[in-house]
Amino acid sequence: MRNKNAQGILLIVLGMFIFAIQDTLVKYIYNSIALYEMYLIRTLTSFLIVIIYLKIIKKTIIFKTHYPFLTLVRVILFFFGFSSFYISLTILPLATANALFFCSPFITTILARFVLKDEVGIQRWLAVFIGFIGVYIVLDPDFSNFDYLSLLPVLCAFCYSLSMIIIKKTSDKDNVYAQMFQFYIGATIISIIFYFFIGSGQYNTIENPAHQFIFREWFSNLKFSMPYMLILGVTAAGAFLSVFTAYRIASPAAVSPFEYSILLWASLSGWYIFDEMPNMQTFIGMFLIVCGGVYIFIRENIKEQPIVTEKPLR
């Protein structure tokens, strides 16, 4: 079915727009909600929507994995990786957090070389180097007074990249929906475990937005937060279905670069809702990150050696 590149590109842009809405909502409500409370409700809502969708299209629902240990590792990486990303939204502008996350193609390329033993030529190494220069420019570190929470999107990118390497090994037997369901089940279990340890808010003792987001008491403001959490679940399912449909019907090499459209949506929503305007230095860093990532996509297509382009970045 990979011959509908125009439709695939439209679906990718739509998926990135929905992801930007999701990130905007998280940033909007983090002062009134607990992180893993949000994770639990969002996951259960998305789980239900995807199951209903698969029932409608009469597709077999599979939960079993042929790689239980690797699946467990992948679920943990994915869960805590995107926990890191959501926490970063308490201190970083939307566009900056997303730009830093997009160092994931560079990390994936490095991991593919040393874990999967894939061949990576000098041009892709140069693209990785340029991309990390962009990351450095966006971070603009002042090491005498550097907030290390700014590195959380990079941590998310590392966890995500490692989970994608695992998926490259497990996709021969576990299809994409099974892998998503495994994540939903794992995320639900981990979130419930967190509820029993931190759900009463007993550790919410530090006046720091990131700390409070993690340790705030659960279900203390449901009248306000529940509609937003349900919307987050809908957006997560909608973005997932849009992006994976795009990769199913179109060439990954054609649609992958358009994942960077989320930087536009994040910049616009950050500016309009939170009065966040990236400065020129941030724009230069974002430009280098995009150039490095797109060039990796191009080289993988030329070499017919999909590493980064095989799976979505968000």
Distance between CA atoms of residues 114 and 111, nearest Å = 5
The per-residue pLDDT for range 234-268, each reduced to its tens digit, is 999 999 999 888 888 887 778 888 999 999 999 99
Say what the pLDDT of residue 69 is: 95
* Domain range list for the chain: 5-303
Q: Which residues contact 219 (CB under 8 A, 6 or more apart)?
A: 37, 199
Percent share of the chain, pLDDT over 70: 95
> Of 130, 161, 123, 157, which Cα lies nearest the Cα of 291?
130
pLDDT surpasses 90 at 230: yes
Question: What does the DSSP assignment read for 21-88?
Answer: HHHHHHHHHGGGS-HHHHHHHHHHHHHHHHHHHHHHTTPPP----S-HHHHHHHHHHHHHHHHHHHHH
Distance between CA atoms of residues 185 and 105, nearest Å = 27
Say if CB 5 and CB 250 are below 8 A apart: yes
pLDDT surpasses 80 at 42: yes
Report in angstroms the alpha-carbon separations of 82 from 51, 123, 174, 258: 22, 30, 22, 21
Say what the pLDDT of residue 305 is: 65
- Average model confidence (pLDDT) for the chain? 91
The per-residue pLDDT for range 106-151, each reduced to its tens digit, is 998 898 888 878 788 899 899 999 999 999 999 988 767 778 889 9
The per-residue pLDDT for range 161-213, each reduced to its tens digit, is 999 888 888 888 888 888 899 999 999 999 999 999 999 999 999 999 999 99
SS3 230: helix
Say if CB 42 and CB 50 are below 8 A apart: no
Cut 0.85: pTM above it: yes
pLDDT surpasses 70 at 103: yes
The per-residue pLDDT for range 298-307, each reduced to its tens digit, is 887 777 667 6
